[in-house]
C-alpha cells in the first residue's frame, strides 16, 4: 500500500511513523508513506495557500489550486482521496478494514479555518475522527494511518484483529497478566481454570457487559 499525506506541516509527523509497528511495516515494505507539502504546488509568487473567506468571517481558508494540482500529480486510477474535516462522516473501524484493502490512499489535512468547498469535488471521502475540533487534519491523518496499517497482512497477528474492540460491534473483553493478585485485586478464577469453553463464554459475557456500560449505542 502507498499512502500520500498532503500537509502544510510535514514535521508534525516526525517520529510518529518512526517507532514500533508502523516503522516495522514501512521497513519491511508493507506500506510506503509520503509526506507531501502542498505549498510546493502553489502557483502564487509567495507560495500562498490560503485566502480570506467570501462573505466575510474569521480566519483564512485553504484555496483550491495548490490542493487540486497536488492531487492531480499524485492520483492514479486506483487512488482513494480522503479529506479530513470535523464536518466529515465519523471514522469507524469498519472504514479502517475497507481502506486496508486499497492500493493507494491520498489523505488531505485541512488547516486554518477550513478549505474552499470545491476541494470536496476531488475527494472520495470526507471523514472526521470525533466530535471535537483540532487545529488541523495532521493528528487525524496519524490516527487513520495507524488504524489502517496495523490491519495490513503480516503487520500484526491476524488473531489480534479478531479480538479487537469494534469487531462484531462489541468492545474488547478485559485481559489480565501476572501476578495473580495485585494490591488485593484478583484475576477472575475462570481464566485460571484451563477450561477454554468457559473462558470463551466469560469473555463474550464481559464484552457484552462492557459494551452495555461504556457504549450502549453500539448495541442499538
Ligand atoms: N480537523 C480538525 N478537527 C478534525 C476532526 N475532528 N476530524 C478530522 N479532521 C479534523
Domain ranges of the chain: 2-158, 163-219
Query: Which of 175, 168, 167 lies closest to 191 in space, CA to CA?
Result: 175
Annotated active-site residue 86? The verdict is yes
Q: Tens digits of per-residue pLDDT, 33-91?
A: 999 999 999 999 999 999 999 999 999 999 999 999 999 999 999 999 999 999 999 99
Which of the listed CATH numbers 3.40.718.10, 3.40.980.10, 3.40.1280.10, 3.20.20.70 matches domain 2-158? Answer: 3.40.1280.10
CA 72 to ligand 1 center in whole angstroms? 23
Annotated active-site residue 159? The verdict is no
Note the pLDDT of residue 169.
Answer: 87
d(CA 190, CA 55): 65
Catalytic residue chosen out of the listed positions 102, 113, 126, 146: 113
Note the pLDDT of residue 67.
Answer: 98
Is any atom of ligand 1 closer than 6 Å to the C-beta of 109?
no
pLDDT at 132 over 90: yes
* CATH class as words, domain 163-219: mainly alpha
d(CA 149, CA 202): 31
What cell was used for 112?
486554518
> What is the reported pTM?
0.94
Q: How sure is the predictor about 165, in pLDDT bands with cuts at 50, 70 and 90?
A: confident
Structural contact between residues 203 and 217, judged by C-beta atoms closer than 8 angstroms? no
Note the pLDDT of residue 208.
Answer: 96
pLDDT at 3 over 80: yes
Amino acid at each position: 500500500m502507498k499512502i500520500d499525506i498532503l500537509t502544510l506541516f510535514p514535521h508534525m509527523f516526525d517520529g510518529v511513523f518512526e517507532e514500533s509497528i508502523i516503522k516495522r511495516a514501512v521497513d519491511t515494505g508493507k506500506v510506503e508513506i509520503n509526506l507531501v507539502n502542498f505549498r510546493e504546488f502553489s502557483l502564487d509568487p509567495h507560495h500562498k495557500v490560503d485566502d480570506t473567506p467570501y462573505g466575510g468571517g474569521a480566519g483564512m481558508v485553504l484555496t483550491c489550486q495548490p490542493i487540486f494540482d497536488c492531487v492531480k500529480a499524485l492520483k492514479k486510477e486506483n487512488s482513494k482521496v480522503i479529506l479530513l474535516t470535523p464536518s466529515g462522516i465519523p471514522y469507524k473501524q469498519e472504514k479502517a478494514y475497507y481502506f486496508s484493502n486499497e492500493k493507494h490512499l491520498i489523505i488531505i489535512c485541512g488547516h486554518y479555518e477550513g478549505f474552499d468547498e470545491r476541494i470536496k469535488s476531488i475527494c472520495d471521502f470526507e471523514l472526521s475522527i470525533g466530535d471535537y475540533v483540532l487545529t488541523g487534519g495532521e493528528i487525524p491523518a496519524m490516527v487513520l494511518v495507524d488504524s489502517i496499517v496495523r490491519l495490513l497482512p503480516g503487520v500484526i497477528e491476524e488473531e489480534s484483529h479478531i479480538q479487537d474492540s469494534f469487531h462484531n460491534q462489541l468492545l474488547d473483553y478485559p485481559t489480565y497478566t501476572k501476578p495473580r493478585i495485585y494490591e488485593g485485586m484478583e484475576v477472575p478464577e475462570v481464566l485460571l481454570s484451563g477450561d477454554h469453553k468457559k473462558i470463551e463464554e466469560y469473555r463474550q459475557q464481559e464484552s457484552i457487559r462492557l459494551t452495555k456500560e461504556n457504549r450502549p449505542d453500539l448495541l442499538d
